[in-house]
Amino acid sequence: MKSSHEIDYEIFGEEMQYVSLELDPQETAIAEAGSFMMMDEGVEMATIFGDGSQSGQGGFLGKLMSAGKRILTGESLFMTAYTNMSHGKKKVSFASPYPGKIIPLDLSTFGGKVICQKDAFLCAAKGVSVGIEFQRRLGTGLFGGEGFIMQKLEGDGMSFVHAGGHVFHKDLQTGERLRVDTGCLVGFTQSIRYDIEMVRGIRNKIFGGEGFFFATLTGPGRVWIQTLPVSRLASRILSFATTNRKEEGSILGGLGNLLDGDGR
């Protein structure tokens, strides 16, 4: 018997997706602040303390420990729970924070645990624990790129993560290795061995443009990869916003756009 609430879902959209969760009476979904989009009448919101799991193990001290671990991943001490308090089925929807794809993860099919970038989590069924994944090697924790400290999703229910651009997965065989830019790594199953490797050669470090480190993943297991990390997207937008540059196709640049008529 599952300990997490069993919820149905549907994902809508292409570039800017949202996921709609269908809740039976008394079923609950959990989410980070800022991901909520809309909900039916009869769904009530409540702030919960800790990692989102419904187990009361350890009492208040246990909840305090789980909440403290969330702070290390840059998240709040609190999460928001959305519970269907009516007698019929109701829906609550959560939106993507930037262009990309929403990935549904049935944790029961991945051994009850998936490790992901700390900003990837979107929402989940109540009973899924959202915490910190301590790595065995110091280098992994310090140089994990955008993730630095990875986040773990544990339980036997549905969880939803978001990644930028096009998202795909690769299934690695036993001993098979894959090197991935740390920002492009979305997540992986618990059977994957994860390490950080330094880019060798001073020319690569200065002119490579891909950072100093990349993730080395060794199978067996599944790896999810994104083509557009949010840090890369933000960097490009910032460079356009702070650099004085002429508009393409116009000798006069921005002034040319002001002077240029419709032409018809």
List the one residue out of 176, 163, 173, 172 whose CA is nearest residue 225. Answer: 163
The kind and range of the H/E element at 211 are none
36 burial (CB, 10 Å; 0-12 / 13-18 / 19+) is middle
**C-alpha–C-alpha distance, residues 74 and 198, integer Å:** 25
**Residues 194, 200: Cα–Cα separation, whole Å:** 19
pLDDT by position in tens, the chain (length 264): 667 788 899 999 988 899 999 999 999 999 987 889 999 999 999 988 665 565 444 455 555 555 455 555 555 567 899 999 999 999 999 999 888 999 999 999 999 999 998 788 999 999 898 888 765 454 544 444 444 578 899 999 999 999 999 999 999 999 999 999 888 999 999 999 988 877 766 555 555 555 567 889 999 999 999 998 877 777 777 777 765 555 544 444 554 444 445 544
List the beta strands (DSSP E) in 25-127.
28-31, 36-39, 43-49, 78-84, 90-95, 100-106, 113-116, 121-125
pLDDT in tens, 156-175: 999 999 999 999 999 999 99
For residue 71, the SS3 value is: helix
pLDDT in tens, 52-74: 565 444 455 555 555 455 555 55
> CA 122, CA 159: separation in Å to the nearest integer?
8
Q: What is the pTM of this model?
A: 0.77
Can you list the domains of the chain with their CATH numbers? 8-243 (3.60.160.10)
